[in-house]
Amino acid sequence: MSDKPSIPKGYLKNAMNHLVPESEVRKQDLARDRVARKWAIKAIKLNAALTAFKKESLADIAKLVTDSGKHYGAKMGGTKGNVSIISYDGQYKIVRQYADRIAFTEEMEVAKKLVLDCVNAWSAGANGHLKAVVQRVFSPSKQGQIRTQDVLDLLRLEIDDDRWRKAMQAVKDSILVTGTAVYVRVYERIGNTDQYKAIPLDLAAV
């Protein structure tokens, strides 16, 4: 049973929590309300469906791994581990993938200083791409977070300079693993090839 007070018939509640007679609400405001409410409700249901999908698929994958272990007399402890499951005809592939959640300590400020010192020292002949990479790495997002992938890209650069190696060590020391995320990815085979395309489960990819 909901604790929310019911809204009297013929009234709408505005953002200030005031009751307003529907007859006094502009048609455009009513239209906007209908669109926002319609798709928000659908999104909530879709989110619940995706949550259930992830929970049930992970449970099925874990059971499959456990049953496989029993077949060989091996007791499988825990559910962690990357797993690929392919249908008998090779048409579909389900991947369970674990990835570390990464944050950065205050040592990233030291790393930033060392990296920028390197770039400034090389400024006369520095590669333009390197400058762009460094600027991107140390430009936090709107949420104030440094993008992890950009940091990892920086670590992949092989530069024969003691100052750079020291800077990269500072970057590595600033990395803090805060947890683990698990993903379920679904793929479909492309025709009769050995290539698979992802079946998007996020709005940005559909």
Please report the pLDDT score of residue 1 as a whole number.
45
Helix, coil or strand: residue 37: helix
CA distances, 107 to each of 28, 73, 174 (Å): 52, 47, 5
Residue 153 makes CB contacts below 8 A (sequence gap 6+) with: 133, 137
Tell me, what's the pLDDT at 102?
87
Largest CA distance in the chain: 74
With 60 as the cut, is the pLDDT of residue 126 above it? Answer: no
Query: Cα–Cα distances in Å, from 54 out to 51, 184, 185?
Result: 5, 7, 10
**Mean pLDDT of the region 22-44:** 95
pLDDT at 198 (0 to 100): 94
Q: Quick one: average pLDDT of 95-117?
A: 87
Give the chain's radius of gyration (CA, Å).
Answer: 26
For the cut 70, the answer to whether the pLDDT of residue 159 exceeds it is yes
* Type of residue numbered 38: K
CA distance 104 to 77: 31
Q: Give the pLDDT band of residue 116 (cuts 50, 70, 90).
A: confident
pLDDT tens digits along 171-196: 899 999 898 899 999 999 999 999 99
CA–CA separation, 110 vs 130, rounded Å?
A: 19
String of DSSP letters for 90-124: SSEEEEEEEEEEEEE-THHHHHHHHHHHHHHHTTT
Burial class (CB in 10 A: 0-12, 13-18, 19+), 160: exposed
pLDDT higher than 60, residue 125? no
Mean confidence (pLDDT) of the chain: 85
Rounded distance between C-alpha atoms, residue 199 and residue 186, angstroms: 6
The 10 Å Cβ neighbour count of residue 115 is 23
Among candidate residues 111, 90, 125, 123, the one with its CA nearest the CA of residue 165: 111
Q: Does 44 score more than 70 pLDDT? A: yes
CA-CA distance, 2 to 106, in Å (whole number)? 45
